[in-house]
Chains A and B, each alone.
Chain A
Amino acid sequence: MQKIPWTPLLLTMLTQAAATMAAYTLSTASPYIAPDLGVENEDVAQLVAVVYLLGAMSAMTVPPFIHRFGGMTISIAICVATAAMLSIASFATSIGILALGALSLGVLYGSTAPSSSHVLAPLTAEKRRNFVFSVRQIGVPLGGILGGLLVPPLILIGGWRIAFQAQLLFALVMIFAIFLVRSRYDQGRDRKRNIWSLSGPIRLVGLLRELPEIRPLAIAAFVYSGAQLCFGAFIVTQLVRVYGQEGYHFASAVALVAFQLSGITTRIVLGVIADSWISARWLLVAQGFLMTLSAIVAAGYDASWPYWLIVINCALAGATASGYTGLAFAEFVRMGGPTRTAEATGLGTALMFFGVAAMAPLFRLGIDIFNGYAIPYFLVAALTATSALLLAIGTRR
């Protein structure tokens, strides 16, 4: 069977996009929400971190639910959680209610990759695996781009509450669409699976013990995702510091777009390459070293540098730190074996989210301590190089 399971692939990719867009709306609309609720911008934007942290927890606890109810049913639950978040947020009159909305999304946010992988892995031929999982992972930047493109005009047209309410339609359509095909893809559920025992998360961590070859990949997932956030989240502030206010427009209009677009296109290209020519594992090693190069270059940004050089480096950062996730998930699926797809991808998701949660504040702290970006970026470079090296050693064995 060499076909690509397009129907579940597109549905799960769009589920990911809907959930990501909803989460990022908290950040994009924060300048408008904050005055209405009487809080600081950062208080609203930080709710995205709450979504990610809860998402990491949900990635660890969801596998038994996936085995019991099926991956598509859990995808419906994710869309319901997204709809709940959008509804609650659109009527929020205080930061507490908004946080409740973030919580309702967060409890299932980390379930997107495990549930979709559980459905896609058995339907995907080995020779298409990297491509399929790379396409699935486009859902994240797609959600980010849709949020960036659609949310500001919606706010201008009807205010931030409308921006949340408009997305409800997307979530509801997704619920309906997945419901139509759910029974076809959710067969073979394990109705006896105990969903309340602690064995789920323990089994997840147990993979690190049972499968030694998964350890370097786990470290890489943690570090690479942390690097992704360091590049993506701090690019605007860094370029403002380098170029002054002029840098804000450049960073948000060109550099960030180069980072995102490069991340999307690279996912697909690398997926095809990994399926046909170079193993995903070696591509991940190469991405780690290129990420290192990009971090070293980013450490040296200076006002005397031409813009094009910075755009190229942002594209390189996007291609590596953002573009690696599809290959990484395909590798987690391959190593997890046929019966533990949800567990292996749950582990991968949790580590990626924890990487984001841990490295971003440390990077911020580094900027304050060293009064600049150079040393924090050198530290990021050291981490990415080390994890790429570990991955290379593990691959050679």
Chain B
Amino acid sequence: MTFAKLTPQLLIDNDHMVNSLFVKECRPLNPTQLTTPILMVHGSNHGWWAWRVWQPFFAAAGWPTYALSLRGHYGSASVNENDFLNLTMSDYVEDIASVARWLGKPPILMGHSLGGIVVQKAAETVSSAAIALIASIGPSAIGRQRPGPPPPMDKPVFPTKAEALERWMYDPWPEERFDQFYECLTPESPGVLATSGTGLTDVNAELIKCPVLCVGGSEDRSYVPKPEKLAEIYNADWFEQPDAGHDMMLESASLDVAQQINQWLIGKLGLDRSSKIKTANS
């Protein structure tokens, strides 16, 4: 007898197209008290699939989760090349806003890397219940983060295998598994990269009223700021996960990080219908 036979359906897994954006839904079959949706935003070159481990985790923990692919990325409608080259941060912010509108209630915004700075910018205008920034790029208040010159504007940005492995991965991934990961990557707009991590994206922290959590990986080899540095800007909570790289959602530290975030979210957003845990008097 397998668990699947005993309880064949615990999670609902649906695909949606919302204003030409692909949104992967994963949520518990029977809704829990945790009704605030988590909206997950991937980083550069990635897609909704970057959350494929965390979505079932958070859904099993009770949260309805929605991972979007930004315009021109995996599963979403393609953008013609000229427009794609000239995309800006505000285009991605509009993507988040349109999916948040569709969700119908202020979500928890969870952004990774480039998705993190898009989330910070979006949170200025999009009503949100909480924000979790995972190995996130910071705003201009941190200064310039990306080393080297900006990418050339005449072609989409796509990392080589060696670059992707070096920048994003900490775990020693088997070649076959890494190839699968690499095949899922899509080109990134140089227009967006030119304003992210280069000290050109201002975020008005005063406009962000909800709780913020900054998460970093101790072994992150990309250029994103340390979580404590980012947390200072938003007066936020933070932690750094040992033995975790930049794409920590896909690595062996994945579930440990997710557990921490889940506990933080429950602490901030509450389980108000649960009984309090008490200690015996004796």
A84 to B16, CA, bound (A): 41
Q: Which of A253-261, A337-345, A365-373 contacts B (4 or more CB under 8 A)?
A: A337-345
Among the listed A1, A122, A126, A213, which residue makes an inter-chain contact with B16, where contact means beta carbons less than 8 Å apart? A126
Q: How far is the CA of A211 from the CA of B99 in the complex (A)?
A: 11
In the complex, the answer to whether B103 meets A338 with C-beta atoms within 8 Å is yes
CB pair A1 B101 closer than 8 Å = no
Given that A1-B9, A1-B14 are contacting pairs, would A188 and B104 also be in contact in the complex, using a CB cutoff of 8 Å?
Answer: no
A190 at interface, CB cutoff 8 A: yes
Whether the Cβ atoms of B12 and A339 lie closer than 8 Å is no
A126-B14, A126-B15, A213-B19 given; A339·B31 CB < 8 A = no
**How many positions in chain B have a CB within 8 Å of any CB in the partner chain?**
23
> Nearest chain A CB to B76's CB is how many angstroms away?
15
Q: Please give the distance in Å from A29's CB to the nearest CB on chain B.
A: 43
Residue B254 at the A interface, CB < 8 A? no
**Which B residues lie within 8 Å of A210 (CB)?**
101
Contact count band on A: 20 to 34
**Given the complex, which residues of B lie within 8 Å of A336, measured CB to CB?**
104
The 0/1 profile, CB within 8 Å of B marked 1, for residues 1-33 of chain A is 100000000000000000000000000000000
Per the bound structure, the CA–CA distance linking A133 and B35 in Å amounts to: 25
Per-position contact with B for A210-234: 1 when CB-CB < 8 Å, else 0? Answer: 1101000000000000000000000
- CB-based nearest A residue for B103: A337
- Report how many A-B pairs have Cβ atoms within 8 Å: 45
Verify if A125 is at the interface (C-beta below 8 Å from B).
yes
Q: Identify which of B27, B30, B32, B102 gathers the most chain A CB atoms within 10 Å of its CB.
A: B102
User: B138 on the interface (CB 8 Å rule)?
Assistant: no
A166 to B162, CA, bound (A): 76
Cβ contact within 8 Å between A339 and B14: no
With a cutoff of 8 Å between Cβ atoms, the chain A residues found around residue B105 in the complex are: 339
Nearest-neighbour CB distance to chain B for A222, whole angstroms, equals 23
Q: With A1-B13, A213-B19, A337-B104 in contact, is A188–B30 under 8 Å at CB?
A: yes
12 contacts between A and B (CB under 8 A): A1-B9, A122-B12, A126-B14, A187-B31, A188-B32, A211-B101, A211-B102, A337-B103, A338-B27, A339-B35, A339-B37, A343-B104
Identify the 6 closest CB pairs spanning chains A and B, nearest first: A188-B31, A339-B104, A337-B102, A187-B30, A340-B104, A337-B104
Q: A188-B31, A334-B16, A337-B101 are in contact. List 19 more A-B contacts (CB 8 A).
A: A1-B12, A1-B13, A1-B14, A122-B27, A123-B12, A125-B14, A126-B14, A126-B15, A190-B35, A210-B101, A211-B101, A335-B102, A337-B104, A338-B37, A338-B64, A338-B103, A338-B104, A339-B104, A339-B105
Residues of A within 8 A of B (CB): 1, 122-123, 125-126, 187-188, 190-191, 210-211, 213, 334-340, 343
